[in-house]
Amino acid sequence: MTALLQVRGLTVAFRTGGLAARLMGRPDRLEVVAGVDFDLAPGETMALVGESGSGKTTLARAVAGLGGEVGGEIGFAGKKLDLRRDGHRLRREIAFIFQDAISSLSPRFTVRSLIREPFRIHGLPCPEGEVERLLKLVGLSPEIADRHPHQLSGGQARRVGVARALTLKPRLVIADEPTAGLDVSVQSEVLNLLNALREELGLSLLIITHNLNVVRHVADRMAIMYLGRFVETGATARIFAGPRHPYTVALLSANPIIDPEARRARIDLEGEVPSLARRPQGCEFHGRCPFVQEDCRLRAPDLRVEADRGFTCHHPLRGEWT
């Protein structure tokens, strides 16, 4: 199957400081995403996992044509994309569900006008009954159409965000922390909805999350990010069964779970995530890695590909931490 989305050597940088910083010799741009490659097939779900500041949201926003100085190549449906030229068209094919559902909805609009807005922006007619159809699709009653965002619960606002993302029949939906701040009982409903829509409409999903319990159930593949790079990618089930990168192990084992028998051997990380302005030499994880060796400090590891997975580590783990 050909990929719907092809990302090659993607970098995203932001300008920082300005003149004063430059005069003082500080870097005036920060590379938040530093060279990322991946493919996403039609109907596939991929999860981007990582801690705050790992660049997962920035990466996803860049794919949707939102913000940052973007370098590298993005191919969509077989064509190379120029974000500047194709941005407007791209937004019809790639929809974004924002992390903070309520504040991503304009407080002065009703749900009806919020759902009609994408049609207006793209100069398309909104078919009769479309708002009601979309609300029904995401499991909301049509009466909600006349409410304002502040009259919605967190789960309802999230569903309106999903309905809005689906208005123009996109082929790729990017969801930034679709369940953050939702209660467990509501969280399942939103995830089931995204999955049902993926099956029904053949959407590809790119889900950004730090919730590993969710990733395990919804994603075909996952990528673990650290300092703006993928440190490990592969099929979700295989990564959970046998992580190769020490950071993946640390992340998976930092997930508090109830069942004492299901708990993993834990790797505690020392120190904090280094600053993007001062990336460590050698392997960027070496300062916090419990298995660090001499060559890790000197040489950055290349991406190693084994079967359908990749990882960047000189001394990958071999199933001893499952």
Partner 1 sequence: MTRSRDPVLSVEGLSLSYDTPNGELLALRDVNLTIGPGEIVGLVGESGSGKSSLMQAILQLMPAAARVTGGRILFEGRDLVQLGPHGMSGLLGDRISVVFQDPMTSLNPVLTIGRQMIDIQHRRPESRAAKRRRAVEMLRRVRIPDVESRIDRYPHEFSGGMRQRIAIAMALMAEPALLVADEPTTALDATLEIATIKLLRELQQEIGCAILFITHHLGVVAELCDRIDIMYAGELVESGPVMPVFRDPRHPYTQLLFACDPAQIREATRHLPAIGGGLPDLIDLPQGCIFAPRCPRADQTCRRLHPADRPAGRSELVRCHYPDAPRLEVAR
Sole window of 9-17, 24-32, 141-149, 212-220 interacting with partner 1 (rule: CB under 8 A) = 212-220
- Taking phi first (over 0 means left), then psi (-120 to 50 degrees means alpha), and beta for anything else, what does residue 181 get? left
Nearest to partner 1 of 237, 298 (CB atom)? 237
262 binds partner 1 (CB under 8 A): yes
d(CA 35, CA 32): 10
Instruction: Determine which residue in the list 124, 257, 277, 305 makes contact with partner 1, applying CB under 8 A.
Output: 257
Residue 186 within binding range of partner 1, rule CB under 8 A? yes
DSSP helix, strand, coil percent of the chain (3-state; round to 5): 35, 20, 40
Q: Are strands 172-176 and 94-97 parallel, antiparallel or unpaired?
A: parallel
Whichever of 128 and 259 has its CB closer to partner 1, that residue is: 259
**Nearest approach, Cβ of 248 to partner 1 (angstroms)?**
12
Q: Would you call 230 exposed, middle or buried from its count of C-beta atoms within 10 A (0-12, 13-18, 19+)?
A: buried
Give the pairing of strands 79-80 and 69-76: antiparallel
* 236: contact with partner 1 by CB under 8 A: yes
**Shortest distance, position 93 Cβ to partner 1, whole Å:** 24
Which of residues 3 and 235 has its CB atom nearest to partner 1 in the complex?
235
Q: Coil, strand, or helix at residue 155?
A: helix
List residues bridging with 48 in a β-sheet.
208, 223
Does the footprint of partner 1 cover residue 188 (CB under 8 A)? Answer: yes
C-alpha span between 104 and 93 (Å, rounded): 19
Stretch that binds partner 1, among 2-10, 89-97, 106-114, 177-185 (CB under 8 A): 177-185
Question: Does the footprint of partner 1 cover residue 264 (CB under 8 A)?
Answer: no
- Positions in the binding site for partner 1 (CB under 8 A): 51-52, 153-154, 183-189, 191-192, 195, 210-214, 216-218, 236-237, 250-251, 254-260, 262, 266, 268-269, 271-272
